[in-house]
Chain A
Amino acid sequence: MDNLSVDHLIGIKDLQPSDIELIFKTADSFKQVINRPIKKVPSLRDITIANLFFENSTRTRLSFELAEKRLSADVINFSAASSSVKKGETLIDTVNNILAMKVDLVVMRHPNPGAAKFLSERVNARIVNAGDGTHEHPTQALLDAYSIREKHGGDFKGRKVVIVGDISHSRVALSNIYCLQKLGAEVMVCGPTTLIPKYIDKLGVKVEHNLRKALEWCDVANMLRIQLERQDIKYFPSLREYTMLYGLDKQLLNSLDKEITVMHPGPINRGVEISSDVADSDQSIILQQVENGVAVRMAIIYLLASKIGR
C-alpha cells in the first residue's frame, strides 16, 4: 500500500499496520534529509499548517514546527494562553476563524479527549492529533516505535516492551500499547496499583507491579513522566517513595543480567522516574527519540498533505 488508509491522524487505534510501515519507510527518507547540510525539501511549499496548542507544550510543538518548516510549509502558531479562547470563544469558532485564513492542515493539542476527532468531523482540513487529554498521542507512539525499530531492527515480533509509570494519566501509554501491539510486540505496563487502570489487561497487556521483575522480562523500558499536573488526588504517598519503587537508576540497570534499551518521552523529571546517569547512559535513546520525532512528523504531514486536493 502506498497511501495512508486514513485522512486524519486521530489515534493509533485507527491505523493499519501497513500505515505504520508506510510512515516508517517515509520517515527513513526524511531522516536522511534532516542529516544533510541543507535540511529542507520543497514538497509542501503550497501548504499552510496551523499548530493549535490549547495546552502547554514545548518539545512536541517545536518538533512539529520544525518538521513543517523542513517540508517548506507555511506555519502559523496558536496557543490558548494568549488567545481569544480566554474570552470565551468555542473550539469550533476558533478553528473556523483560523481555517478562513486558508489553512490546509491543523495540528492540535487539546486537554479534552476526543477533541481532535470532534474537529475532524466538522472542519474541512486534515487534522493531526498532537495529544488529546489522557486519550492518545499518536505521533509520540510512532516515534517511540520508530526508535525501537532503529535500535533493534525492523521485526517487532517477540520484542518485549515495558511501559513504566503513570499509565492512568498518560496518552503516550495508550498510543504506545496500540502501536506496539499492531506491530507484533509484547507489551507490559508497570507501576503502582493506583496509577494503572483497573481493566488495562483487557487490551492484551501484561501487568506487573514490581519494577525489577518487569525489567528482567523486557528488551525495552519506556519510562513515563509522573504527570502531577493531571493528578486530581494523591496517587502515592510521596515522590521519594515512588522513586524508590519505580525509579530507574544505574545500580538497578547494572544489576540486570542483560542490556535493555531505556526510553523516555520527555520532559524528564531527573531523579524521579529516571536518574541522570541512566538518562545520559549508552543504553538511553532519549535524544534519538527527539531526532526521530522530527523525521516521523515530517512523514505523517507529507503523507496526509498528499491527500489534499488542489
Chain B
Amino acid sequence: MDKRTILNSKHVEITLRRLASQLKENHGDFENTVLIGLQPRGIHVLERLKNILETDLGKELTCGQLDITFYRDDFRRREQPLIPSVTNIDFIIEDKRVVLIDDVLYTGRSIRSGLDALLAFGRPKDVELMVLIDRLFERHLPIQPHYTGKQVNTLSSQVVKVEWEEQDGADEVILCTVDE
C-alpha cells in the first residue's frame, strides 16, 4: 500500500486554528450556535475545535454527537449490519444555527444521512457543513462544505485516513493507494 502524508501534525493544528477562526467570524459569541460532530470520526474534529474555541472565547460551547447509522442508504447492501454509535444531543436544535462537522467529505452520502438524522431532532434555523478534508471529483450528491480544511484530488482507489494522537499516536492525514 502506497502512503502519502497530506497533513502532518503541525499542519493539522494550523488548519484547525484557521477553521476555528472562520467559525468565530461567522458565529461571533456562538450564542445561538451548536456544533455537532458526525459519528464515528467527525467527533474527533469537533473535540479539537471545541477545545480551541472554548479557550479563545472563555466559555463553554453547546456541542453534540450525531450517529447516522439508521439513516444511511446502504442498509442491506453490506455483508455485516451497520452497528450504531452513540448519539448525544441533549439540547434543543429548534431555531439554532447548526454546524455539522465531519473529518472527510467524499461522496456526500454520509452528510445526506446526517441531515436526515439531524432533522429528527427539530428544525434548525440553518445548517452549515465543516470538513477537515474535502475529496474532490467523486461526489454522488450535490453537497458542498461551507468550511474546508484542505481540498485534495483523489482517485476512487485511494483512501483518506485521518489519524489522531489520542487514538493513533499522532495527528496526521494520509492518502493511501490500495493495491489492486
Contacts and interface: CB of A to CB of B under 8 A. Distances in A.
A25 B70 contact: no
Contacts of B75: 43-44, 305-306
Contact of A308 (B76, B80, B120): B76
A3 B119 contact: no
Interface in A26-52: 26, 29, 32-33, 36-38, 40-44
B83 A42 contact: no
B80 A305 contact: no
B81 A41 contact: no
Given A38-B120, A302-B81, A310 B76 contact: yes
Contact of A33 (B70, B82, B116, B122): B70
A75 interface: no
A306 B70 CA distance: 11
B4 interface: no
B59 interface: no
Contacts of A36: 120-121
Contacts of B87: 29, 32
A303 interface: yes
A153 interface: no
B119 A38 contact: yes
A41 B71 contact: yes
B10 interface: no
Given A36-B120, A306-B75, A309-B76, A42 B70 contact: yes
A26 B116 CA distance: 20
B33 interface: no
Nearest to B93: A37
A254 to B, nearest CB: 36
Given A29-B67, A32-B87, A38 B81 contact: no
B116 A29 contact: no
A3 B76 CA distance: 12
A38 B121 contact: yes
B148 interface: no
Given A42-B71, A43-B75, A306 B121 contact: no
A2 interface: yes
B70 A303 contact: no
Nearest to B72: A43
A307 B71 CA distance: 17
Contacts of A308: 76
A38 B70 CA distance: 13
B127 to A, nearest CB: 16
A105 B67 CA distance: 26
A310 B121 contact: no
Interface string B93-134: 000000000000000000000001001111000000000000
Given A33-B70, A38-B119, A310 B80 contact: no
Given A29-B69, A42-B70, A3 B81 contact: yes
Task: Across the A-B interface, give the 5 residue pairs with the lowest CB-CB distance, nearest first.
Answer: A306-B81, A41-B70, A29-B84, A38-B120, A43-B70
Given A22-B83, A302-B81, 10 more contacts: A25-B83, A29-B69, A29-B70, A36-B120, A38-B120, A41-B71, A42-B70, A42-B71, A306-B82, A310-B76
30 contacts: A22-B83, A25-B83, A26-B84, A29-B67, A29-B69, A29-B84, A29-B86, A29-B87, A32-B87, A33-B120, A36-B120, A37-B120, A37-B122, A38-B120, A40-B120, A41-B120, A42-B70, A42-B71, A42-B116, A43-B71, A43-B75, A302-B81, A303-B81, A305-B76, A306-B75, A306-B76, A306-B80, A306-B82, A309-B76, A310-B76
Interface of A: 2-3, 22, 25-26, 29, 32-33, 36-38, 40-44, 302-303, 305-310
